[in-house]
Every structure is written in C-alpha cells, then in structure tokens.
Amino acid sequence: MDRRRFFGNVLGLGAMSAFNFKGFGLMSKNSMDTIDQSNDLVEWNVHFFSSDTNKYPFHHNATYKPDPSRMPKNPLKTYLSHLDKEGIGRGVVVQPEPYGDDHSLLLDSLKKAPDRLRGTSLFYPKDTLAPMKLASLVKAHPEIVATRFHAHRGKESYLNTFSDPGVRALWKQAVDLDIIIELHIGPNYALQVKKAIQTFTGCKVLIDHFAEPHMGDAVEFANVLELADLPNVYMKFSGLGHFADDGPDYPGAKPFTKQVLQAFGPDRMIMGGVSLSTIDVHMENYSQADKAKVSGKNILKLLSWN
C-alpha cells in the first residue's frame, strides 16, 4: 500500500489530504537547519474521519461518504502521534465534506489539543442561515480560523457562481469575523473569485491545491496566477499528487511550481500535506528562511498564532 493511501484509508485522515511525512522529523543538510525549528512547522490540509458513525454521522447532503470501516475511532490520537513522530509543531484540520456543516468531530478534537490545532469550517452557501451559523460557530469556538468553499469542474453542487447572494453573504460574514476564506477551486473559477476578492476589501484568501490545475486549461490558470497581484491571497503548496505521478516529491512538477512560487512568492505560500523534502526539491534556489516561511511561519503569522 502506498503512503498516501495508507494515511487516507488506514489512519482515516482523508485520502485526498493525506500526509506524506517523509522528511519532517529527519532533518537533512538540505532541509531545516536545526530540529528546534520543528516547533514552527505547521501543516494545513488534513481531514479527520471517525469510524463511530453513531456519534459522528455523515451529513445527509454529503457529496461523498467514505467507508467508515477503514477509519479509526480516534483520529486525533493517530494524528498527534504522527505529528510528534515527525516533529511537526501544529496543524490546521480541514472540515471534510462528508460531515457537511456538522462540526462535532472537529470541535471535539480541537478542544483536546488547543495549543496545537486549529480548524476550518464548511457551510452550504445555498442555506440562507449559513452566515448566522458561521458567526455563531466562530464566536463560540475561536479556534475555527477559516471557512471553505468548494467549486471546480465536477463539483458544482455547492454554488452556481461566486456572485450568488448566498456566497457573497457567507464571504462577507467571514470578512467581518476576520477569518480566512479557504477556496478549493478549479482554474475556471479564478475570474469569479477575483471579483469577489475585489468586492470585499481586506479579505484573506487561501487557495487549496494549486487551484487544481489539471481541472482547467492554460488560459484559465493564467487567471489563477493573476490572483497573486491581489493583497492577502495565499496559495497552498499541496495536492501535487492530484496531477503528478512521480511522488513522493514530484520533481517533474518543478517547472509548474516554479511559476507559482514566482507569482506568489515565499511570503504567500503555505505548506499542506507535503514534506520538507518536497519543499526542498521545489525551492532548491530559495533560502532556508524562505523555506521556513512556507513550512509554517506564514501560517503562524497569518493566524497570529503564538
């Protein structure tokens, strides 16, 4: 079984967001200078699933439902043990789609590790009560630091466009709450997203998985790169395995990641679900300080996480 499938199926940490831990704890000469810097390592990508579907049932509107028999009963324990083993200080846990806007598993997990974990939320833009639900959640649980939108080819059920009233209301609520807007989008939505960002001055945006470049064309991805011209827009260094097959470090994707790194710069890239060795491969001409930004310091600064 390959490493990605292992973490996705055996550990129940999300097949599409599973870690490749290679290199995190075993610092090489080409990686972080000292093990002490591991306290500043932060990943933002993992999903939690539980085999206990009585306590944590899947949402009736879930876009997919994983096999609970392959999930652990206590994903938090599994996750933290691997963070410890690999020397990762902290993590941001992403609310997975199967639980919809029921954040019970996430909240139960976060309260058991308040110093090490933060979480993101998920709501349905077509639900007129979604903005109120988001506000209530964040005010009761300040450890929730983002809300996530899904929109790419093959996943159009959440919203029609980013101009939808429900999308704009939820986006505005996130801005008012001063939390991150996390976007799991395809390149074909970049122009719509640009208009939304320009509408809500001061919003902070994180784009997942390089905006899934394989789901669009070159012209559409050029629009993604133009989002780097806007303030407070970050790109997540994640999802290489969605379109490349030479893992674990995907050196064949270097011409692509080079362009993204040049557009967004090391100050606005965030590590998610990749290893330090992958960061080394794709940032070989960058300084250790720049690599440290991508592998955690940018997240800590963005979230004011001391």
Confidence of residue 79 (pLDDT cuts 50, 70, 90): very high
Q: Is the pLDDT of residue 295 over 90?
A: yes
> What gap in Å lies between CA 53 and CA 138, rounded to an integer?
25
Per-residue pLDDT tens digits for 251-290: 999 999 999 999 999 999 999 988 889 999 999 999 999 9
Predicted local confidence at residue 114, as pLDDT: 96
Sheet strands (E) in 19-84: 42-44
List, for residues 238-253, the tens digit of each pLDDT value.
Answer: 999 999 999 999 999 9
What pLDDT does 127 receive? 98
Average pLDDT over all residues of the chain:
89
- Of the pLDDT bands very low, low, confident and very high (cuts 50, 70, 90), residue 75 is very high
Tokens of residue 40, six digits: 């500043």
Banded pLDDT at 88 (limits 50, 70, 90):
confident
CB 38 within 8 A of CB 31: no
Average pLDDT over every residue of 289-295: 97
Crossing angle between the packed helical segments 165-177 and 130-140, to the nearest 10 degrees: 20
Lookup: tokens for 287: 């300084």
* Domain ranges for the chain: 3-302
| Mean local confidence (pLDDT), 290-294 | 97
Compute the C-alpha angle 11/121/268, nearest 5°: 90
Q: Residue 7 above 60 pLDDT?
A: no
Tell me, what's the pLDDT at 97? 97
For the cut 60, the answer to whether the pLDDT of residue 174 exceeds it is yes
Nearest to 138 by CA among 116, 164, 170: 170
Which of 22-31, 32-41, 67-76, 207-216 has the weakest average pLDDT?
Answer: 22-31
Q: What is the phi/psi pair of residue 151, to 5°?
A: -165, 110
Span 110-141, pLDDT tens digits: 999 999 999 999 999 999 999 999 999 999 99
- Domain 3-302 fold is TIM Barrel (3.20.20)
Q: Which residue carries 């990641």 as its tokens?
A: 257
Q: Which amino acid is at 54?
A: N
Task: Give pTM, 2 decimals.
Answer: 0.89
